[in-house]
């Protein structure tokens, strides 16, 4: 029987084989976010194109829609002046004169053919006769034979004298050719009519001894033009590039592109860059976080956040261009990155979003690109330090406001260093206002859509971890012992996560909500019995195990009811992994029950992330230390418990799906021991002896 799921798996493995270079864990989570990002990028490119097409962009070989001025110093080639100088140099070459080899011999052949045309009927003679006009042939045929021969003989003499007299200086002067012929004819003592016949004959059969070679002339002219170098000029800020209504020549269009002005044509280059970025984005972010081969660092919600950060950067930077502000729009992407991603990863995601937005919207103006890159790096850097701790939305507003002012100062400083015009205070105020507005529009969208994205922002984490949260208050009322246990785990998780550089906000929320399922049957858990009757004494081991294990499923139901984020649900389902309730299993065996061990095990899954794996470990450590508190007297006792619990989890293969290294496990052991020591103070008190008693 054909299994469609098996076919899908086979197809995915086939694709994985063909694209082995692509991280396998990114296949499932990349496609839909990538398509969404592609749509956003295409929309940004089309929006800029429509904006340029609405009369705000220039078009090559068309009248300029407005007067364009230089917004940054630049060198440009004055093509019009260069062409004028080159045309002048080419015109200085009148012509290249070459000797007309064989001209005299060809004249004699034609003269012989003309004199013998009546007696010679050969094909060659006929071809030569075709070059003579009928009037000339008829004129010579009309005179007597003796006179014709005499005139032909005189024509040969005059032709030889013509070639001997003509020099290269006479080339191209038709009047000079005629003067030479008539000077030789006037030496003859013959009638004017005969001179005219000889002149007409020689004019048709004689070629100049020197001639102008058009091919060589064109070659020399081109060589002279190439010797004229390109004329470069310096354009300062404020200089007019082209006035409204003037034709935008190709050279002017090139200058406008360098200045970063919008062009009325589809930005194919930007669209291509956007497509390439969408393709390489998962690899780029994977390289940033990939510490070793096979390490799992990226999940669905993380990729969704990365896509949101990049899309925010593109949209806001495009908005700056459309509103006529040179550069900006980086603060929104930076803020969103640090609200939903851990520190270092957020820094790199913010850089990718803002820097890629520069190349998508700046039209490749060198000065604008450089200043935008500096502004992007500055925003990501101050965000790394200023947004690391956010206590509330009011705190965020204050930090964003001062970050906007700081970025405005940096922007003006960079413009001054790059010799760009410094903005007026009104435009500087618009810069801060736009940054502030776009940032909180982006934050509002994040807070609205974070449930669909599957992320947990810092603001949401702060809200969920506050004691006034309705679900936490319900837990405190109905299961006070569990509530206190969750607070203890939260303190442990926060301290250990800070030492390990993990997301302490996520750890804190996960710790607070991981046991909310215990509210359904609080008295089944020892922390809620307050030293009273133990309900498990009246239940069979199997029923006790069912009640204990059910708190995971019931916690998920409660999380769905209160619409908790996906990341928080992962803590509920994974904090016990596939471990077993060994106490009740052994009790059932001792009572002679025929049971399977799987009946006493949690359904899982095993922890799929470092955070849920750490919570599993801390949960077990806190329970172990609390149960053995009476016999703990030294730090070594706590360290021994930590070592034992970690080894148990490793032996049960509970960390197989997480990517802890041995080094990280050692760091976790040390950090956990220190945190537990601070919570459960241990010291050996020396007995005070009464000296008077011994006396």
8 Å CB contact between 662 and 646: no
pLDDT single digits (tens) 649-678: 999 999 988 878 888 888 888 888 888 887
- Across the range 329-340, mean pLDDT stands at 92
Q: How is 234-303 classified by DSSP, letter by letter?
A: EE-TT-EEE-TTSB--HHHHHHHHHHT--BSS--HHHHHHHHHHHHHHHHHHHHHH--STT-----HHHH
- When mean pLDDT is compared across 92-101, 168-177, 404-413, 573-582, the lowest value belongs to 168-177
Top pLDDT among 192 and 173 is at: 192
Q: What are the tokens at 50?
A: 């429509």
Place of tokens 């700056």: 320
pLDDT score at 398:
92
Cα–Cα dist 23/21, whole Å = 6
pLDDT score at 10:
43
Helix (H, G, I), strand (E, B) or coil at 68: strand
Percent of the chain having pLDDT more than 90? Answer: 23
pLDDT single digits (tens) 256-269: 877 777 788 888 88
- When mean pLDDT is compared across 40-49, 106-115, 431-440, the lowest value belongs to 106-115
- Residues in CB range of 683: below 8 A, 6 or more apart: 633
In angstroms, the Cα distances linking 494 to 549, 611, 647 are 26, 11, 23
- When the pLDDT of each residue in the chain is averaged and rounded to a whole number, the result is 81
Cα–Cα dist 500/498, whole Å = 5
- Residues in CB range of 190: below 8 A, 6 or more apart: 154
The CB density around residue 236, as the number of other CB atoms within 10 Å, is 10
pLDDT score at 238:
75
Top pLDDT among 81 and 383 is at: 383
- Across the range 414-421, mean pLDDT stands at 73
Top pLDDT among 90 and 554 is at: 554
pLDDT for residue 180 is more than 90: no
Q: Which residues of 252-272 are buried (b: 16+ CB within 10 A; e: fewer)?
A: bbebbbbbbbbbbeebeebbe
Q: Report which DSSP code applies to 92.
A: T
Question: How would residue 289 be classed by pLDDT, with cut points 50, 70 and 90?
Answer: low
Query: Which domains are delineated in the chain?
Result: 23-57+269-455 (no CATH), 97-212 (no CATH), 470-679 (1.10.3210)
Place of tokens 């820097």: 355
- Across the range 78-90, mean pLDDT stands at 86
Cα–Cα dist 649/613, whole Å = 10
The CB density around residue 687, as the number of other CB atoms within 10 Å, is 4
pLDDT for residue 6 is more than 50: no
Percent of the chain having pLDDT more than 70? Answer: 85
Helix (H, G, I), strand (E, B) or coil at 645: helix
pLDDT score at 518:
93
Question: How would residue 400 be classed by pLDDT, with cut points 50, 70 and 90?
Answer: very high
Backbone angles phi, psi at 612, to 5 degrees: -70, -35
Written in H, E and C, the secondary structure of 64-97 is: CCCCEECCCCEEEECHHHHHHHHHHHHHCCCCCE
pLDDT score at 554:
94
pLDDT score at 297:
53
pLDDT single digits (tens) 450-507: 888 888 888 899 889 999 999 999 999 999 999 999 999 999 898 888 888 788 889 9
Q: How is 317-347 classified by DSSP, letter by letter?
A: HHHHHHTT-SS---HHHHHHHHHHS-HHHHH
The CB density around residue 163, as the number of other CB atoms within 10 Å, is 16
pLDDT score at 12:
41
Cα–Cα dist 553/47, whole Å = 48
The CB density around residue 596, as the number of other CB atoms within 10 Å, is 8
Cα–Cα dist 194/151, whole Å = 7
pLDDT score at 1:
42
pLDDT for residue 344 is more than 80: yes
Question: How would residue 147 be classed by pLDDT, with cut points 50, 70 and 90?
Answer: confident
How many residues in total does the chain contain?
A: 695
Place of tokens 């050279």: 251
- Closest by CA to 572, choosing from 597, 604, 543, is 604
- Cα angle 564, 567, 568 (rounded to 5 degrees) comes to 50
- Residues in CB range of 587: below 8 A, 6 or more apart: 541
pLDDT single digits (tens) 189-245: 888 888 888 888 888 777 777 777 888 888 988 998 888 888 888 887 778 888 888
pLDDT for residue 592 is more than 60: yes
- When mean pLDDT is compared across 132-141, 153-162, 317-326, 383-392, the lowest value belongs to 317-326
The sign of the torsion formed by the CA atoms of 204, 207, 212, 216 equals positive
CA dihedral 358, 363, 366, 370 (to 10 degrees): -10
Q: Where are the alpha helices (DSSP H) in 418-515?
A: 425-453, 458-465, 470-478, 480-500, 504-513
For the chain, the maximum distance between any two Cα atoms, rounded to a whole number of angstroms, is: 180
pLDDT score at 690:
53
Cα–Cα dist 59/265, whole Å = 8
Element (H, E) at 233: strand 232-235
Question: How would residue 108 be classed by pLDDT, with cut points 50, 70 and 90?
Answer: confident
Question: How would residue 325 be classed by pLDDT, with cut points 50, 70 and 90?
Answer: low
Top pLDDT among 408 and 616 is at: 616
pLDDT for residue 130 is more than 70: no
pLDDT for residue 335 is more than 60: yes
């Amino acid at each position: 029987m054909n299994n469609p799921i098996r076919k899908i798996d086979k197809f995915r493995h086939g694709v994985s084989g063909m694209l082995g270079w692509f991280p396998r864990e990114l296949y499932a989570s990349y496609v839909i976010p990538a398509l969404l990002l592609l749509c956003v990028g295409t929309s940004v490119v089309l929006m800029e194109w429509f904006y340029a097409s609405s009369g705000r962009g220039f078009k090559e070989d068309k009248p300029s829609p407005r007067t364009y001025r230089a917004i940054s110093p630049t060198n440009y080639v004055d093509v019009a002046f260069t062409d004028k100088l080159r045309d002048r140099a080419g015109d200085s070459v009148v012509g290249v004169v070459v000797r007309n080899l064989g001209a005299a011999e060809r004249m004699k052949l034609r003269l012989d053919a003309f004199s013998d045309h009546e007696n010679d009927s050969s094909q060659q003679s006929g071809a030569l006769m075709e070059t003579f006009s009928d009037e000339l042939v008829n004129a010579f045929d009309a005179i007597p034979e003796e006179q014709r021969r005499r005139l032909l003989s005189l024509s040969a003499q005059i032709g030889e004298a013509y070639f001997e007299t003509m020099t290269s200086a006479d080339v191209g002067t038709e009047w000079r050719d005629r003067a030479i012929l008539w000077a030789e004819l006037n030496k003859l003592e013959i009638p004017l009519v005969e001179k005219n016949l000889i002149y007409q004959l020689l004019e048709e059969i004689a070629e100049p001894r020197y001639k102008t070679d058009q091919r060589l002339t064109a070659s020399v002219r081109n060589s002279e033009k190439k010797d004229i170098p390109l004329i470069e000029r310096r354009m300062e800020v404020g200089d007019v590039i082209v006035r409204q209504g003037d034709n935008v020549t190709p050279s002017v269009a090139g200058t406008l592109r360098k200045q970063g002005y919008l062009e009325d044509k589809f930005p194919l280059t930007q669209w291509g860059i956007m497509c390439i970025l969408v393709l390489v984005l998962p690899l780029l972010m994977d390289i940033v976080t990939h510490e070793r081969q096979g390490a799992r660092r990226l999940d669905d919600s993380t990729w969704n956040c990365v896509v949101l950060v990049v899309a925010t950067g593109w949209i806001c930077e495009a908005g700056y261009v459309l509103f006529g502000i040179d550069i900006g729009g980086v603060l929104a992407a930076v803020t969103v990155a640090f609200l939903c991603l851990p520190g270092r990863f957020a820094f790199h995601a913010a850089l990718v979003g803002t820097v890629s937005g520069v190349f998508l919207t700046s039209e490749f103006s060198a000065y604008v690109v450089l200043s935008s890159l500096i502004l992007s790096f500055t925003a990501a850097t101050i965000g790394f330090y200023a947004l690391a701790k956010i206590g509330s939305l009011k705190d965020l507003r204050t930090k964003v406001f001062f970050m906007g002012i700081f970025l405005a100062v940096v922007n003006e400083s960079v413009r001054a260093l790059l010799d760009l015009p410094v903005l007026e205070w009104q435009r500087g105020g618009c810069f801060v206002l736009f940054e502030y507005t776009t940032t909180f529009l982006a934050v509002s969208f994040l807070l609205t859509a974070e449930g669909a994205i599957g992320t947990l922002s810092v603001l949401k984490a702060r809200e969920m971890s506050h004691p006034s949260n309705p679900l936490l208050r319900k837990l405190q009322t109905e299961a006070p012992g569990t509530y206190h246990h969750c607070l203890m785990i939260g303190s442990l998780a926060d301290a250990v996560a800070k030492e390990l550089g993990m997301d302490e906000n996520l750890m804190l929320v996960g710790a607070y909500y991981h046991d909310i399922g215990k509210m359904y049957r609080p008295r089944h858990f020892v922390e809620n019995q307050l030293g009273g009757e133990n309900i498990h004494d009246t239940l069979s081991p199997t029923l006790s195990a069912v009640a204990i294990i059910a708190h995971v499923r019931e916690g998920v139901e409660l999380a769905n009811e209160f619409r908790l984020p996906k990341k928080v649900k992962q803590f509920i389902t994974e904090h016990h992994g596939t471990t077993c309730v060994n106490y009740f299993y052994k009790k059932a065996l001792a009572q002679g029950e025929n049971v399977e061990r799987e009946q006493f095990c949690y359904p899982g899954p095993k922890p799929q992330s470092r955070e849920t794996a750490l919570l599993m470990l801390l949960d077990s450590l806190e329970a172990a230390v609390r149960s053995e508190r009476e016999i703990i007297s030294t730090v070594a006792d706590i360290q021994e418990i930590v070592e034992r619990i970690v080894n148990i989890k490793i032996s049960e293969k509970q960390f197989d799906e997480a990517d802890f290294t041995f080094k990280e496990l050692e760091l976790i052991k040390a950090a956990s021991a220190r945190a537990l020591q601070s919570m459960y103070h241990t010291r050996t008190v020396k007995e005070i002896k009464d000296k008077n008693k011994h006396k």
